[in-house]
Amino acid sequence: MIATRRSRTGYGRFAAAIVYVALALPAVGRANSVAVQSIRFGQAVTMSARVVKGTVKARAQTKIDGATLHYVELAVDAVLKGPPAQAGERIRVFDGAEWFRHTHAAAIKGGVVSSADPRYAAPVPDAQLKPGTPVIVFLRGEAPPPGFPPDAVFLSSSGAFERPERAADVAHMKTAAFGDPITLAMGDVAVLPDGLELEVKGHTHKRPMAGGPQKEMAELEVRSGTHSERVVLGHLIEPGKPPKETWQQRTFHLPSGPQYDLVLVGMKQGAETTLRVLRRAP
């Protein structure tokens, strides 16, 4: 039997952004299992309800439900995604993993919790989060649980503080679902549900011979974790009445794990590329 547990405060989703399963079986011979998930920039943008650029004002701690929880206080300078900021808005940013460990202390001690722990892949080092430091922060959207201050917010993954220079990149991240067409301008990045990323790097056009076929191509960079490859997809137009069009597709293989079919379905030379991504089982 597998049961999903809720915190004693009723905060069902655990702003911790930790997905876990508590096994309702005796814990004899069983240890806790924590699978660390590395969250890349594009995935952090798309999974976060709010992305904020702000300035660190303080580092502090507070007592909630008997636990000592740490937070970073920020003054919001700009909202890059999500609900706009109020004039002079300040937020207190908590790492939900700390709250999770408190609310599930008994289950963790008993060895009956298996969890996935999402952690930001390239965080600003904790030692650099000093007052006056500008940062980007990735946040969940839920209201804080009872007992938290009203300005409390939770990171969408542990360590999800990014350098402010990446603010312009937020707008280029586009959420894509498997099988649905997504249109990308140059420099846009499609982020699929499992973290696969596709970026259009350029278009080329093959000059046709007189009366011969025409071909235009989109060059993509496909990334998953630390693995990346360049993939070229073409659109062929053969003379005729009407002309015959062929839109290419390619299969992208990860060294281990699923395979993906990348299907070109539309192009505006030098401007836009429309794709569909199909995921195959491992």
Terminal CA-to-CA distance of the chain, rounded, Å?
Answer: 27
Average pLDDT over residues 212-241: 88
Residue given tokens 């009956």 in the structure block: 112
Q: Report the candidate in 167, 114, 121, 161 with the shortest Cα–Cα distance to residue 5.
A: 114
**What's this model's pTM, rounded to 2 decimal places?**
0.75
Domain edges within the chain: 2-170, 173-280
Query: pLDDT tens for residues 229-280?
Result: 999 999 998 888 888 889 999 998 888 778 999 999 999 988 999 999 999 8
d(CA 273, CA 104): 47
Distances (CA, A) of 260 to 8, 40, 244: 41, 19, 26
Give the phi and the psi of residue 102 in degrees, each rounded to 5: -70, -50
